[in-house]
Amino acid sequence: MKTYSENVACLALMIAKETGDYSQAALDFADLLVFNADVIQRYHEDACNDPSYDEEDRKRLHNIEKSLGDLIRDYHQPLGFIPGSGDPRGYPFYLSLPSGRSNSWGGEGWGVNHELHPEIE
């Protein structure tokens, strides 16, 4: 299992290769994506394991995913957001890449790994 920093670095490299943006902004963007993958992952785990998970939680998750999708499209138009299945064993969400590359069995897109952010471990 990769560390948080390794996940960010690998994702930043993928974003840079796909978009041609090798700036610090790509690294910062990757950090934001991995952080949000962890947040979404927690919602997916709670939906499976927490009996108090309710409609409010579903709305919060939907709003997070919508905001993240808008942010991804605004950052680089060729990138797209694909929500995960909600299964905590899988990726919280995927990026659709211009090249069509995928790291998932189903070919959904580039799954963004989640690792607990060091500041909230």
pLDDT, tens digit (0-9, with 9 covering 90-100), for 88-103: 988 999 999 999 999 8
pLDDT at 114: 79
pLDDT at 68: 94
Judge whether residue 117 has pLDDT over 70. no
- Cβ density class 33-72: b for 16+ within 10 Å, e for less: bbbbbbbbbebbeebeeeeeeeeeeeeebeebbeebeeeb
Helix (H) or strand (E) holding 55: helix 55-75
119 band by pLDDT with thresholds 50, 70 and 90: low
121 band by pLDDT with thresholds 50, 70 and 90: very low
Q: Give Cβ neighbours of residue 73 (< 8 Å, ≥ 6 apart).
A: 79, 80, 81
Q: d(Cα 34, Cα 116) in Å, to the nearest integer? A: 9
Judge whether residue 116 has pLDDT over 80. no
**Structure pTM?**
0.87
Percent of the chain with pLDDT over 70: 94
| Apex 40 CA angle, 34 and 41, nearest 5 | 85
For the chain, domain boundaries: 4-120
